[in-house]
């Protein structure tokens, strides 16, 4: 039995020597074999956002930003509203808005209103941008700003 083990081990050594002699560079094909855990990393998918934001700018009819405009976001389901007063650059921002609710967005500056813009529950954009224009633009029908009716004097 020991002669058989001696013969088998010498055969294995001879086969290993022949394999090394046939391949002068044993590390040339290491891409085919993974001997450790250094596999390419699998990219994880980003989680879908759970809320959305709407940002934008309030501009006048010449495209200049309006400071001090009051932007109102209204939940069409509950009629609750949030308000934001624009700064020097005319920008506003509302965060943590639901994807399952429709919203209306409008701006007011002094006695002039912008057109009402909608945020639909069917639009699944996470970061919505809306430009609200105050004043009138004669070149585009339907975008004329509305004047708030003056209160009637009491008699």
Q: Where are the domains of the chain?
A: 52-138
Question: Whole-angstrom Cα distance, residue 105 to residue 78?
Answer: 15
- CATH no. for 52-138: 2.60.40.1120
> Which residue in 103, 96, 54, 99 sits closest to 78, CA to CA?
103
Backbone angles phi, psi at 37, to 5 degrees: -100, 35
- State whether the Cα torsion 30-32-38-44 is positive or negative: positive
Helix (H), strand (E), coil (C) string for 76-104 = CCCCCEEEEECCCCCEEEEEEECCCCCEE
Answer with the residue of higher pLDDT: 65 or 19.
Answer: 65
Q: Could you read off the pLDDT of 48-98 as tens digits, one per residue?
A: 788 899 999 999 999 999 999 999 999 999 999 999 999 999 999 999 999
Q: What is the mean pLDDT of the chain?
A: 77
Long-range contacts (CB closer than 8 Å, 24 or more residues apart) made by 20-25 = none
Q: How far apart are CA 141 and CA 14, in angstroms?
A: 91
Q: Which residue has the tokens 């200049």?
A: 64
pLDDT value of residue 138 = 36
Select the more confidently predicted residue: 23 or 55.
Answer: 55
pTM here?
0.59
Give the pLDDT confidence score for residue 139 in this predicted structure: 36
């Amino acid at each position: 039995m020991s002669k058989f083990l001696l013969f088998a081990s010498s055969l294995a050594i001879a086969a290993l020597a022949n394999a090394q002699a046939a391949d002068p560079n044993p590390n040339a094909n290491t891409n085919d074999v993974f001997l450790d855990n250094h596999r390419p990393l699998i990219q994880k998918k980003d989680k879908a956002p759970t809320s959305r934001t709407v940002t934008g700018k309030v501009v006048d009819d010449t495209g200049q930003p309006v400071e001090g405009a009051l932007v109102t976001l209204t939940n069409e389901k509950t009629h609750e509203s949030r308000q934001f007063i624009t700064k020097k650059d005319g920008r506003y921002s509302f965060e943590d808005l639901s994807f399952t609710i429709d919203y209306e967005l409008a701006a007011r500056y002094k006695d002039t209103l912008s057109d009402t813009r909608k945020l639909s529950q069917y639009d699944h954009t996470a970061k919505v941008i809306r430009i609200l224009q105050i004043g009138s633009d004669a070149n585009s029908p339907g975008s004329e700003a509305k004047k708030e009716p003056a209160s009637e004097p009491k008699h």
